[in-house]
Amino acid sequence: MNKFYDAAEFFTAEEILNTQKRRLIEIFEILNNNKFSNFYKQRIFQHNNFDEVLAKIRKCDNKTDFYALFRQLVPFTTKQDLRENYPDKLCCCEKNNYVRMHCSSGTTGNPTAIFYTKQDLDTWSRLMARSLFAAGVRPDDVFQNMSGYGLFTGGLGIHQGAETLGCLTIPAGAGNSKRQIKLLQDFSVSVIHILPSYALHIADVIGGEENLKQKFPNLRIGIVGAEPYTEESRNRIQKALGVKVFNNFGMSEMNGPGVGIECEHQNGIHIWEDAYIVEIIDPKTGEILPDGEIGELVLTTLTRKGMPILRYRTRDLTKILGRDCPCGRNHVRIERILGRSDDMFIIRGVNIFPMQIETILLNFPEISNNYLIQLEKNPQTNLDDLRIKVEIKNEFFAENVRHLRNLQKRIETALRDEILVRPIIELVQHNSLPKTEGKAKRVFDLREK
Ligand code: ADP
Ligand code: ZN
């Protein structure tokens, strides 16, 4: 069996750089000849002569110079730019060259639409297949895709990657946990793709870690992504489903899933740098941050010809972990996404990310896999309150009141030590909090704006 799906996986740093240069030139040519949109042409070539730009890129013989030139030529693209150009004002080809359209799920406002040519779908599928391969998926695997289909790229995007790799692919979609489990068993599924919030829910439905090998004899890999989750969640999912979990990353603006994934070492997400240029910036100043500092991820598509997006401010917060790996791949590794800059909430002057709260909560074995965060204005004190409702596993909920009070206090203190605000903890019965089929909504801000 091959060591890789695509030779690009094992490119040296120099090969990656040369590919980036070549592909950026291709993209610039497309943008400069674009008869359908002036967006990038104006931004990049209004003040720069096209031929001179290409000559300068070709002359760069090291990464520092290339990136410096790239940044000097290309301004950031924001979500706002995409919204203003909705639905198709960033397209570069005749309408009839496109074969697919996806939208972002609109988690944070109006959606943005992305168009793909046949060739774009093929390159995307190969990136996705490559990602699955890097996580250990092989053509003889049976692959169940348990995320929603439709406009969300986690459906078709993952699906076509698994098919391209050669897996028998089951488009189960999201929800209906009983049927999901039946499919897993009837077809001896070995790999699943699932959102972390749904995986935690399925874990509850399966209940207990006994006899997993009898229940799902072949199940071994969980491809898990599309929303932030903590190491504690990973551990819980791995234990409850008997899989090794690989963090899979992408977004519709960058095609969808397939931007990057963890390899067998589970030590951060390799972003495929022959297909994307990766930068981390200070979200306030836009300055490039040194490796290891947390900032906003900025990505550039190098292979999508129908609708390139350059220096896109993803609003996802992460940091660069390293540029090599025991697996032998030189594609940069980033930290799991800590959240989006707009996930952060401020309470009593303290900035808090939901993932900080999840990390603490899921360390308590008494807590089941669902929780909800509510921000409220206290009418008596006029201060903001942070209320956290947590589901307690049945076996603990039946305990006496003193035990539950004690648990409540311990959770309160652990959180207060981490986030510096004392929350109000409500222990609720298992299965009593709302569940979502797509990305989980866990934070509800009830303060008047
Ligand atoms: P929307 O932006 O409307 O949610 P997408 O479906 O394109 O639409 O979602 C992309 C976003 O999902 C990313 O920008 C990121 O915030 C989140 N995401 C995707 N994969 C992961 C992951 N592995 N870990 C954390 N967050 C992720
Ligand atoms: Zn690796």
Q: Rounded to whole angstroms, what are the CA distances from 281 to 2, 73, 298, 336, 437?
A: 37, 16, 7, 16, 33
258 lines ligand 1 (CB under 6 A): no
Q: What is the pLDDT of residue 207?
A: 79
Sign of CA dihedral 393, 395, 396, 398: positive
Q: Quick one: which atom of ligand 1 is closest to the CA of 315?
A: 14
Q: Is residue 76 packed enough to be buried (19+ CB in 10 Å), middle (13-18) or exposed (0-12)?
A: middle
The tokens describing 388, both together, are: 């956290």
Residue 107 pLDDT: 65
For residue 256, the ligand 1 atom closest to its alpha carbon is 7
User: Which ligand 1 atom is nearest residue 105's CA?
Assistant: 3
Q: Which segments within 275-338 are labelled E, that is strand? A: 276-281, 295-301, 312-318, 320-322, 333-334
Cross-strand partners of 103:
113
Ligand nearest to the CA of 4: 2
Q: How far apart are CA 411 and CA 423, in angstroms?
A: 9
Q: Ligand 1, residues 83, 103, 107, 353: which to mutate, most atoms within 8 A of Cβ? A: 107
- Residue 105: predicted pLDDT: 64
104 CA from centroid of ligand 1 (Å): 9
Closest atom of ligand 1 to CA, residue 248: 23
Q: So what's the pLDDT on residue 70?
A: 98
- Within 217-359, strands assigned E span 221-225, 244-251, 256-261, 269-271, 276-281, 295-301, 312-318, 320-322, 333-334, 339-340, 345-347, 350-352
Pocket test of ligand 1: the residue of 82, 102, 316, 338 to mutate, having most ligand atoms within 8 Å of its CB, is: 316
Q: Which ligand is nearest to the CA of 256?
A: 1
How would you classify the pairing of strands 142-145 and 168-170? parallel
Q: Amino acid letter at 432?
A: S
* Cα 425 from Cα 158, distance rounded (Å): 38
Cβ of residue 28 lying under 6 Å from some atom of ligand 1? no
**What pLDDT is attached to residue 106?**
66
Q: Confirm or reject: Cβ of 252 under 6 Å from ligand 1.
A: yes
Which neighbouring-strand residues pair with 169? 143
Alpha helices (runs of H) in 242-367, residue ranges in sequence order:
354-361
Question: How far, in Å, CA of 39 to CA of 35, rounded?
Answer: 11
Structure tokens at 228: 């932030």
For a ligand 1 pocket test, name from 110, 195, 245, 251 the mutation site with the most ligand atoms within 8 angstroms of its C-beta.
251
> Euclidean distance between the first and final Cα of the chain, in Å?
58
* Ligand 1 pocket check for 316: Cβ under 6 Å: yes
What are the residue ranges of helices labelled H in 74-220? 79-84, 118-134, 153-165, 177-186, 196-206, 212-215
Ligand 1: which residue has its CA nearest to atom 24?
Answer: 228
Which residues of the chain, if any, have pLDDT below 70?
1, 105-108, 449
pLDDT digits over 120-131, tens only?
999 999 999 999
Per-residue CA distances from 13 to 81, 344, 351, 418 (Å)? 32, 35, 38, 39
Cα–Cα distance for residue pair 421/350, rounded to 1 Å: 8
Give the contacts of 23 (CB within 8 A, at least 6 positions apart).
274, 275, 302, 303
Q: Cα 143–145–147 angle (5° rounding)?
A: 165
Burial (CB < 10 A; 0-12, 13-18, 19+), residue 342, is: exposed
* CB of 152 closer than 6 angstroms to any ligand 1 atom: yes
Q: Residue 249: CB within 6 Å of ligand 1?
A: yes
Question: Ligand 1 center to residue 42 CA distance, Å?
Answer: 29
How many CA within 13 A on the CB side of residue 74?
Answer: 29
Picking from 418, 371, 327, the residue whose alpha carbon sits closest to that of residue 4 is 327
* pLDDT reported for residue 1: 57
pLDDT of residue 108: 66
Q: Ligand 1: distance of its center to the CA of 252 in Å?
A: 8
